[in-house]
Structures are given as C-alpha cells and as structure tokens.
Amino acid sequence: MTASLDFALGLACFELGRYPQAVEQMQQCLAKRRQPALTPINTDILTAAPYHCLGMSLARAGDLEGAEKAFQSGMAEKGRTEELRLDYAKFLREQNRPVDALHRLHELVTENPRSAAAWRLGAQIAMSHPDFLEFANDWTTEAIKQHPEDTEIVSQRAEALLLSQQTAQARELWQTLWEQDKQPRSLAALLICEVLEDSPMTNSSAHEADLGPTSRAFIDWYRRCLAMRAQPVVAGLNERMEHLRGILPAAAGMLEAALTEAREASPIAPEPCLA
C-alpha cells in the first residue's frame, strides 16, 4: 500500500462511516507520503487534505482533542487549506466555541476575501447568539461588499439589519430578494419592515401571495426576534397589531392570543409564548 492508496482507502472508509478505519488509513498516509513510490502519486497527499480527513474522522470517532490537533497541523500545510479551515470552524462551533470559530474565519476572509463560504459560515455563527449581533452587522457589511450578488449573503445582511431595527435598509434588500424569488420568508420579513415603518405595501404582487405560508413565516420571524432579544422590533409589532391584522389576519390572531395569555400569566413585561 502506497500513501496514495492509503489516502483513497481512508476517504472511502470516511464516506462509509467507518471512522476508526479512516483514522488509521490517514495516519498511514501521513507516515508514508514523503517516501518514494514506483507509481504516480495523488498530489493531494502532499497538501492539507490528509490532515483534513484525519481531523474529520477523529471528530466523528469522538476523539475531539486529536481532531483539533489534526486540524491545526493541517493549517501549516500548503494547498487545500481553505476547505480544512472551514470545517475546523464548523468543528469549533459544534464544540460551543463560536468566538474561536469566528477568529479562524476572520483569518480566512482576510487572506481570501472572495471565499463566499467563509463569509456565509461566519454570518451563521454570528447570528446564532444575541450577544454577537453587533459583530454580525459588521461581518455582513463586509460580506455583501465582497459578494453583492450572492443571495444567501444578501439574505444574511438583510436579517442582520432587521434584527438591529435598521428596517429602511433591510426593506430594500428584502424587496429585492422577494422580487427575485417569491419565498414566504422574504415576504414576511418585508412585511415586518413595512409594518414597523407604518408604510403601505408597495409591491402589488405581495397582495396576491399565499397568506398561509407567509403567516407561518411571519410567526417564525417573531420567534426569531424574541430569541435574538430584538425587543424594539417585537414591541413595534405588538404596538401595530391593528395594521398587522389588515395584512396577515391569521398571524395577528396568533400573536394577540399569545399576548393575552402572557398578560394574564404575568402582567409585568409579558412576552408571548409561541410554542
């Protein structure tokens, strides 16, 4: 078995979910990859790729310390490091280390601002916790500069603006996203911006949308605002229930019922329970 064959077998074992065997084959590959071979080699074995697969395999096998060492070793290699660094950031996020993950992603986008995958992952992590919302705003500001046509990045920027109560800027982005792809999530976010700005719907096609999925998406957004502690957005929607009732009566009914129940349970600063 040459190092190239060990590498191929290790990849196959990983794909089959045989992680201990994948670990063994990648270790064999790394031990032999500098040795002369009588057959053409897979040049990937001389990059970060073996460490990448080793780190992923160790993580799946439950050896988290070993996985981190493998990822870090791979970062010192030349070639194929971007994929490794992305998965290392995901690994750190899964270990509840979002700050470390964002640090690694910041290094990556500093070296390669065109890495859309790194920008997307960073936004996902930053918007996973309310304490990171300010950072999420900064991150998505730079991300959309680098990738203004990337739909996911535009959506992430629009979400960061909405959660930060910057509804005028968010509205423009959600309007664009809605016009490009008539998804209930985009329309619901656009409606939130319209309601908070006390402005009428400007897009006539929105009135023709299926209000059932849009109402459900609206409630999902309301839950999201609660989870991210975007209290001004929540309070603004609660204060404009009459306006909302004329646009999405089903969503307004659910919110009013939840608010009434919350007030009866606790008259001080109630928050609805939208289970």
Residue pair 54/23 in contact by the 8 Å Cβ criterion = yes
Q: Which helix (H) or strand (E) holds 28?
A: helix 19-32
Q: Which two tokens stand for residue 19?
A: 């992680």
pLDDT digits (tens, 9 = 90+) for 15-61: 999 999 999 999 999 999 999 988 899 999 999 999 999 999 999 99
Query: Whole-number mean pLDDT of the chain?
Result: 92
pLDDT of residue 258: 83
In this prediction, residues 157-170 reach a mean pLDDT of 96
Map tokens 């916790």 to a residue: 129
If we measure between CA atoms, which residue out of 126, 112, 124, 123 comes closest to residue 83? 112
104-119: per-residue pLDDT in tens? Answer: 999 999 999 999 999 9
**Model pLDDT, residue 243:** 87
pLDDT at 82: 95
Alpha-carbon distances of 111 from 105, 107, 150, rounded to whole Å: 10, 6, 20
Residue ranges and CATH numbers for the domains of the chain are: 1-91 (1.25.40.10), 97-162 (no CATH), 165-275 (no CATH)
Distance CA 110, CA 159 (A): 23
At 206, the pLDDT band (50, 70, 90 cuts) reads low
Q: How confident is the model at residue 201 (pLDDT cuts 50, 70, 90)?
A: low
Q: Which of 170, 171, 122, 119 is nearest to 143 (CA)?
A: 119
Closest C-alpha among 112, 168, 170 to residue 141? 170
Please count the residues of the chain.
275
Residue 88 has pLDDT above 80, yes or no: yes
C-alpha of 217 from chain center: 18
